[in-house]
Amino acid sequence: MLVVGASRGIGRASALLLAEEGARLVLVARGEEALQAVASEVRDRGGEVCWVPADVTDPLQAARILEPLREEGIDALVHAVGGGIRVPFAEADDATWQQALELNLLTARCGWCGSCSPPCGRAGGSSS
Ligand SMILES: NC(=O)c1ccc[n+]([C@@H]2O[C@H](COP(=O)([O-])OP(=O)(O)OC[C@H]3O[C@@H](n4cnc5c(N)ncnc54)[C@H](OP(=O)(O)O)[C@@H]3O)[C@@H](O)[C@H]2O)c1
C-alpha cells in the first residue's frame, strides 16, 4: 500500500493503522527525517515498510515512488497530501491558485500509479 503525505497528520495516522492490520507500506513525503520516524513507528507495530522522500508535484520525483512498487504494484493508495491557500482571497494570484490545484487535485490523479503494473484499483474499488 502506498501512503502519500505519510509523515504527519492523516497520512501518518493511516500508516500506523494500516501497519496494525499487517499492511506492507511505502511512505512518501518530502521530509526524510519525519518519514524515517514514521517508518520506525510502523515497524514497532509489526508493519513492513520503506519510504521514498519525494515532492509529488515534481513529476521526476514522483516517478521515483514507482521504483519500490514495480514488482508488486499497489493494492491501495492513501493520498493525504494537500493544503489551503494561505493568503487573502483578493491577493491570491494565478500561480498561487495553480499551485493549490496541483497539490490538492492533480497529484491525486495517479498518473504515476497508473503506470504501475498491476495498477492500483485492480481489486475493483476506488474512492476519492
Ligand atoms: N486535518 C484535518 O482535519 C483535515 C480535514 C479535512 C481535509 N483535510 C485535508 O487532508 C489533507 C491532509 O491533511 P493533514 O491535516 O493530514 O495535513 P498535514 O498534517 O499538513 O500533512 C500533509 C502531509 O503531506 C506531505 N506533503 C505536503 N506537500 C507535499 C508534497 N508536495 N509532496 C509530498 N508530500 C507532501 C507532508 O509532509 P512534507 O511537508 O514533509 O512533504 C505531510 O506528510 C489536506 O489536503 C487537508 O486539507 C484535513
Q: What are the pLDDT digits (tens) for 22-54? A: 999 999 999 999 999 999 999 999 899 999 999
Mutation test of ligand 1: which of 25, 35, 52, 81 has the most ligand atoms closer than 8 Å to its C-beta?
A: 81
pTM over 0.75? The answer is yes
Grid cell of 68 as nine digits: 519500490
Give me the pLDDT at residue 117, please: 46
Domain definitions of the chain by residue range: 2-122
C-alpha Rg value of the chain to the nearest Å: 15
Grid cell of 27 as nine digits: 511512505
What number does CATH give the domain 2-122?
3.40.50.720
Cα 94 to middle of ligand 1, angstroms: 22
Confidence of residue 71 (pLDDT cuts 50, 70, 90): confident
